[in-house]
Structure 1
Amino acid sequence: MTNADRAALRASADSVLARLVGDASGTARLREDQWRAIEALVADRRRALVVQRTGWGKSAVYFVATSLLRARGAGPTVIVSPLLALMRNQVAAAARAGISARTINSSNTEEWDTVRAEVAAGEVDILLVSPERLNNPDFRDQVLPRLAATTGLLVVDEAHCISDWGHDFRPDYRRLRTMLADLPAGVPVLATTATANARVTADVAEQLGTGAGADALVLRGSLDRESLSLGVLRLPDAAHRLAWLGDHLKELPGSGIIYTLTVAAAEEITAYLRQCGHTVASYTGRTENAERQQAEDDLLANRLKALVATSALGMGFDKPDLGFVVHLGSPSSPIAYYQQVGRAGRGVEHAEVLLLPGREDEAIWQYFASVGFPPEEQVRRTLDALDQAGRPLSLPALEPLVDLRRARLESMLKVLDVDGAVRRVKGGWTSTGEPWVYDAERYAWVARQRAAEQQAMRDYATTDGCRMEFLRRQLDDEAATACGRCDNCAGARFGAGVSDTALDTAKGELRRAGVEVEPRKMWPTGLASVGVDLKGRIPATELAGTGRALGRLTDIGWGNRLRPILAAQAPDAPVPGDVAEAVVTVLADWARGPGGWAPGAVDAVPRPVGVVTMASDRKPRLIESLGRHIAEVGRMPLLGGVTLAPDADAVRISQTNSAQRVRALHERLVVAPELADALASVDGPILLVDDLSDTGWTLAVAARLLRRAGAEAVFPLVLAVQA
């Protein structure tokens, strides 16, 4: 291509940009680094890896490149994009530039056939695909080959997800290797991310074939965000952090996002801030898709002061005038933190970024760290089970055989699929018989990397140096210097003071006790394969009733109080007085509420007439003392306890797999004759007291035993539920 041709191409690119940004005057111009990426893709048909800060304009690169390539007769652009919020924003942005964009993802299954027909007819310029589609057998075998053969440009958005060295590894992204291998020669590829250090950048470049050997362009820019003012507020406890938000949220500029580490915390904070008169909404993995979209729209239109969100609102949400990001709880990685705070200040001169760390943060980090790639023994057991089956096994069929929770099992299988050891087919998963090596060194390195990232977040919260410089150095930004804007450079802009009214309200919200404990209603599939003759719906005559817990372990209120008591290393001791009294409050509220037993309660049930405690080899004193206290206060007999079988110590309880857990509980738990006699002596429901319900299966198995032994009804009462 001649210099004149390149100049004409540049003029066309600037014209597309003007339409994209709504510049009627046509004076908008691409920055030189944006043009370099577009030139590499369109003029030279190269592969490019772009690592640039949020707000740099990565989406403009692939929208403009798409328009130019389509004008030259190229096929549609395929964008692999991880989040629905990102997809919705990109479809709208593409329309502004006169580009037709459609999506295929889990929320629009009813449109898939129409979208495929439109792509085949040449009516679609951009097809956005969720990474999960890449490993769907029909899509992989029927749609993906055709897409690879006709694609004009492949874009991998949020490309750090492809690397298990990064903070947000997603196995489905690895399927891109197949599509890359099938692309015809000369089809350009663009990978983009805002959050990748040097190690992640190298790994992504290698996996996508954008390394030096592929004659690729790598654009890595400064990660400074001149609009962001970073700060940290260290407050005494969760009540003070909530109160601070209640008092100061109105002082933060514009509208923004309050990030939390857990769903429970997001719901608690939303409820409290609404009490304080703030217009906020919760946005989590539990939020229905329609409600998510409404919440996004409300924030975009500034009808909300803030979304209170988990990482479900991570990548892709695009609001240029977002005025603040507050974290109530610290993410475990500075890279993840930088990615989330990068939502703010993209189109305004100043945005506030505040971290309010809490003492519960590290317990939550430990929980998420526990769901990494499984040990080799469990991986080999899975491969053996598939080998021996001689047919495809679905996740429900495979789960009882391997002692892995379903989500973790599926994630592991996706990695093994990309590694060539298994294959997903119609009906489930099969073994390929290909040799496979457990990369223990790599997995250990990843674990060490996670630990180092956690330490970096501790250091970030306590450093007296420049906070932006600290984050940029964590992302290997060689140009990192002091920003002059953060609280350490320019002084704190917010004090730690809170009003007595806000603090009292916050304490009241956090002391609010009581969480419904929904009973398990279906036995896990595959129990017959592990020797237990239970299946399907649990009969009404063996079912537990809806119970209550004092709180969730992931709460920032009662969770903070209960975690130290229920920790595995905590000594077994009688229930503390404040906790016992709070449980009594839960009982009183339960009695008066719907499904309670107080006079006048809606859908009233008979009053409990006795208390039974759960067997435990961890916290027997705690559970027995709680059961005794409830019996005394409620003037009911303590009927006894579900006990452990004599050889119970030889039966290992699975902490992850439902079928294996039920099998072990089925063998371990016993209703002794003395307890059966006591049950026969009372006429009415009983309360089943335990310390913790993490999966619900212990309560389900114990309730079945008690109902079969004569209990009229069983209502669980526990100190905490896991989430």
Structure 2
Amino acid sequence: MQEIALSLLRKALNNPNAQFREGQWEAITKLIKTKSRLLVVQRTGWGKSLVYFLSTKLLRNQGAGVTLLISPLLALMRNQIEAAQRMGVKATTINSTNFDEWKKIEQKLLADEIDILLISPERLANEEFRNNILIPLSRKIGLFVVDEAHCISDWGHDFRPDYRRIVRILQALPPTIPILATTATANNRVIDDIKAQLGSSLEIIRGNLTRKSLQLQNFQLHNPAERMAWLAENLPKIKGSGIIYTLTVRDAENVANWLVSQNINAQYYHSQLENNVRETLENQLLNNEIKALVATTALGMGFDKPDLAFVIHYQRPSSVVHYYQQVGRAGRAVSQAYGILLGGEEDDEIANFFIENAFPPIAHTQLVLDTLNQASNGLSVYELQEKINLSHGKIDKVLKLLTLDSPSPITKQGSKWYATPVNYYIDTQKIELLKQIRYQEQKQMQDYMNSQSCLMFFLASALDDQNPSFCGKCSLCLNQDLLPINYSPLLLSEALKYLRRTDYKIEPRKRWALAGAFPQYGFSGNIKTDLQAEEGRALCLWGDAGWGSLVKDGKYKTGYFDEQLVDATVEMIKRWQPKPLPGWITCVPSLKRTELVPNFAQRVADKLGIPFLPVVSKVKQNPPQKTMNNSYQQARNLDGVFVIDQDKIRNDAVFLIDDFIDSGWTFTVVSALLRKNGSGQVFPLALALNSLK
């Protein structure tokens, strides 16, 4: 049987000389011969997908049923599926993009014409999928695979609530069905948690995590402009192509556009891009058609390019497991590849934001439960938004976690959620412990950044590798820089200019919030074209290295926006050239800082040679918009707050200035009021945009 498996392996890899890596055949044997429950913890690039595809083929040859594989990485598994098809494994997926094919796939599954079905964990929450496919299929499963199994664990770095449903399915499967769980990033704590959930009979195959071809180097470049200058200086010196990871979507776009401006072929990649666009970008990187793909973690687990020459982190990830998972994309099939970590001043702020938002706060959970308990006829998510000041995403997160409890304190009927009689206990101690673990992981990553000994040894030890060793290749082992830390002062100057010339579009809202948000203004439904704002601009991101720090100082320290910001805004307007060009300026007033924005707007108007007319008045003090957490609450908070002086208004286009934009509802409401009272087109203009988006 091993000879048959080796032949299949060579077909899959398209390599007539390929051999099994240490542990691969051992894992396959345990699955097909002893029907084991098995956890495989191996480094990225080891070939975990080959274990389950080969096992599927061999089990199917013995007459076993279909393999069910659950993975969060379906969009990034194209290469692995192609390899499976080369060895004759018929693989298919059921996902949100191929709903029209579900019926045909269902028929093929029940007719035993598919070897392996790949689904995301979120699919398990779909009632139609469970009833029509999963339940009938459960009687015919030959192998059950959980990819990226660290997601099962509460203690893992990437907890996904839907993975909890997997445990229930496993508990219902006959003990004779082999089960494979795979991951590259599980320390002892996570392994123990997975074992507790999958059963004490779980066997573990654990390999060495050291990547012999990967050369690591860390250095701190606090200012984003310094990091951008370093990238422009050093990327052309590195042979081959690679990935630059950022922590936010906006940074991915900014860094990619900066590199393009420096004649470096780069593209940005993140979850907000369409699937077909992401696939095109992946293929361009695979084929070395671009130098660098500047990506968020959307290009993480599952992407496989064996000859990736470098992985550079523009910011420090929040944990060692995140970092190892990402840097491990490089150097799988080349003798040398770089893993470079550039630490920045914003790293901790971004990491803290994600830690604090990873799990629903206790108060959020209690608020949702109390609200549902008071609603005799149930509430939809949109109706919950009307009653409680939580975002749609935060309400969804609470509901999802509550449904995973058995018995659950809530139930869904149609589009509405109802409280059940279950007496629910919120485990406050566990939630707090999880947060503290995340902060400990962050501290560990800070220690890694400042390590004075072998970097690969640090990573392997942090992941509880049983045999960590010094790599002899990192900058600390060699006692010299792999790549120079220096960069041209001219490039630094160019990067600063770039940041200060980079403005951000403000997309106009096209629809009012939920019915009832504006009882005084009477706004509802779609926003009429003649009441809509035009596309606007923001000068910078809040607190960034371009103008953001100066905006922050003006608002909270000096109480006055520096003249440089006036000049920069005028320059932005000249680049922008909105049509029709506004003939006057007004602003969003404040009852707290009454002179700050009007003073700035007046100076911009003077520089442009057009009048500033303060036609907008604020007639009541409302809570700060930043304290409102969903569209309904944000909109409702502005109802009746502003009035327009119709006698002073002009009927031509106008710039509407404010200091900060987050949700965009203030601009939407004031623009509609201006248009309703006779102004021309309204072009929103903000000094700063919320940067953590």
TM-score normalised per structure 2: 0.93
> Is 1:474 aligned with 2:446?
no
Q: Provide closer, same or farther for how the CA distance between residues 453 and 472 of structure 1 changes in structure 2, counting only shifts above 3 A.
A: same
Farther-moved stretch of structure 1 (499-508 vs 341-350): 499-508
Q: Tell me the residue number matched to 1:235.
A: 221
1:302-345 residue CA offsets vs partner (Å, 9 max, x unmatched):
22222111111011001111111011111111210111001111
CA–CA distance in structure 2, aligned partners of residues 162 and 245 of structure 1: 37
Q: Is contact 2:587–2:597 with CA below 8 Å preserved after alignment?
A: no
Identity of aligned residues (%): 41
Farther-moved stretch of structure 1 (293-302 vs 136-145): 136-145
For structure 2, list consecutive stretches of 5 or more residues without a partner in the other structure.
none
Q: Is contact 2:554–2:560 with CA below 8 Å preserved after alignment?
A: no
Farther-moved stretch of structure 1 (367-376 vs 384-393): 384-393
Shift of 1:277: 2.4
Q: Provide closer, same or farther for how the CA distance between residues 330 and 319 of structure 1 changes in structure 2, counting only shifts above 3 A.
A: same
1:663 to 621, 630, 636: 636
The 5 A counterparts of 1:348-387 are 348-387=334-373
What is the letter of the counterpart of residue 463 of structure 2? L
What is the letter of the counterpart of residue 247 of structure 2? L
Shift of 1:709: 4.2
1:161 to 130, 151, 155: 151
Shift of 1:550: 0.2
1:693 to 647, 661, 664: 661
Shift of 1:428: 4.6
> Is 1:135 aligned with 2:121?
no
Farther-moved stretch of structure 1 (393-402 vs 179-188): 393-402
Farther-moved stretch of structure 1 (89-98 vs 506-515): 506-515
The 5 A counterparts of 1:32-431 are 32-207=22-197, 209-210=198-199, 212=200, 215-235=201-221, 237-390=223-376, 393-419=379-405, 420-431=408-419
Shift of 1:128: 0.7
1:372-406 residue CA offsets vs partner (Å, 9 max, x unmatched):
32322321222233344455644333332232212
Q: Is contact 1:572–1:620 with CA below 8 Å preserved after alignment?
A: no
Q: Is contact 2:24–2:51 with CA below 8 Å preserved after alignment?
A: yes
> Is 1:608 aligned with 2:583?
yes
> Is 1:625 aligned with 2:625?
no
CA–CA distance in structure 2, aligned partners of residues 434 and 337 of structure 1: 41
Q: Is contact 2:228–2:255 with CA below 8 Å preserved after alignment?
A: yes
The 5 A counterparts of 1:475-554 are 475-490=463-478, 491-527=480-516, 534-553=523-542
What is the letter of the counterpart of residue 676 of structure 1? D
Shift of 1:589: 2.1
CA–CA distance in structure 2, aligned partners of residues 632 and 327 of structure 1: 44
TM-score normalised per structure 1: 0.89
Q: Tell me the residue number matched to 1:601.
A: none
Q: Is contact 2:355–2:439 with CA below 8 Å preserved after alignment?
A: no
Q: What SS is found at the alignment partner of 1:115?
A: helix
Q: Tell me the residue number matched to 1:600.
A: none
What is the letter of the counterpart of residue 329 of structure 2? R
Q: Provide closer, same or farther for how the CA distance between residues 250 and 588 of structure 1 changes in structure 2, counting only shifts above 3 A.
A: closer
Q: Is contact 1:606–1:684 with CA below 8 Å preserved after alignment?
A: no
Q: What SS is found at the alignment partner of 1:688?
A: strand
Q: CA RMSD in A?
A: 2.6
Shift of 1:143: 1.9
CA–CA distance in structure 2, aligned partners of residues 274 and 129 of structure 1: 37
Q: What SS is found at the alignment partner of 1:371?
A: helix
What is the letter of the counterpart of residue 718 of structure 1? A
CA–CA distance in structure 1, aligned partners of residues 684 and 191 of structure 2: 50
Q: What SS is found at the alignment partner of 2:651?
A: coil
> Is 1:576 aligned with 2:568?
no
1:334-372 residue CA offsets vs partner (Å, 9 max, x unmatched):
210111001111112221110112222223223323423
Q: Is contact 1:676–1:710 with CA below 8 Å preserved after alignment?
A: no
Q: Provide closer, same or farther for how the CA distance between residues 425 and 143 of structure 1 changes in structure 2, counting only shifts above 3 A.
A: farther
Q: What SS is found at the alignment partner of 2:341?
A: strand
Q: Is contact 2:660–2:686 with CA below 8 Å preserved after alignment?
A: yes
1:587-624 residue CA offsets vs partner (Å, 9 max, x unmatched):
2223x3xxx2xxxxxxx32523232233264x555423
Aligned length: 688
Q: Tell me the residue number matched to 1:6.
A: none
Farther-moved stretch of structure 1 (229-238 vs 286-295): 229-238
CA–CA distance in structure 1, aligned partners of residues 47 and 139 of structure 2: 28
Q: Is contact 1:360–1:556 with CA below 8 Å preserved after alignment?
A: no
CA–CA distance in structure 1, aligned partners of residues 319 and 214 of structure 2: 19
Q: What SS is found at the alignment partner of 1:717?
A: strand
CA–CA distance in structure 2, aligned partners of residues 560 and 162 of structure 1: 41
Shift of 1:83: 2.1
Q: Is contact 2:319–2:444 with CA below 8 Å preserved after alignment?
A: yes
Q: Tell me the residue number matched to 2:452.
A: 464
